[in-house]
Amino acid sequence: MQIMRLIIVSAVLMFAPLTASAEGACPPGQYPIGGQGVQGCAPIPGANSGASGSSGAPVATGKWETRWGAIAEDTAMANKGGNLATGASVAQKSKQAASSLALSRCKDEGGKKCEIRLTYYNQCVAMADPVGARGPGAITVASRAETDTLAKSNALAECQGSGGQQCAIVYSACSLSEFKSFR
């Protein structure tokens, strides 16, 4: 009889954890409620961080918008020996808007055959020209980079390397992305 009682108690204790785990059938953040054959789940008080029952997930407050810039130059050699007409634009919402504004400004400066030299977005640009008389192979150089300082440094290095003469920065600007709030 003692052995039979020991087997029954052992069996009950062995299956006890299984019946206890069946009670946890509620989703995370809720606990079981009810009794006498009727059971449900209720939210754990204070489990949600917001009074409106929000999940506490991050909510976007705005977005980063791309900004474009462009440089246009007169390709007609009407101004031989002098500076060519140049137009530039910065912080435009589209490539088309940046290009149109740069072309318009180039024509306003007397350009006869203005063409887009370069476009850029979410970065900086710098242009370097040779100083004094232009030697053979001397060219105006434009460089793009993440920062204004780096764009200027790159433009100077390339300009001096292309004709072996002194160069100077003649233009620099940045068209960096802008944060626009939803509120």
Contacts (Cβ under 8 Å, ≥6 apart) of 37 = none
Low-confidence ranges of the chain (pLDDT < 70): 1, 3-24, 37, 46-56, 77-83, 133-138, 162-163
Contacts (Cβ under 8 Å, ≥6 apart) of 71 = 86, 87, 88, 102, 116, 117, 118, 125, 127, 142, 171
From residue 161, how far is each of 48, 138, 149, 165, 167 by CA, in Å?
63, 9, 18, 8, 10
DSSP-derived 3-state class of residue 55: coil
CB-facing half-sphere around the CA of 93: CA atoms within 13 A: 2
Q: What pLDDT does residue 78 have?
A: 43
Distance CA 104, CA 173 (A): 18
Q: What pLDDT does residue 44 have?
A: 83
Q: What pLDDT does residue 88 have?
A: 97
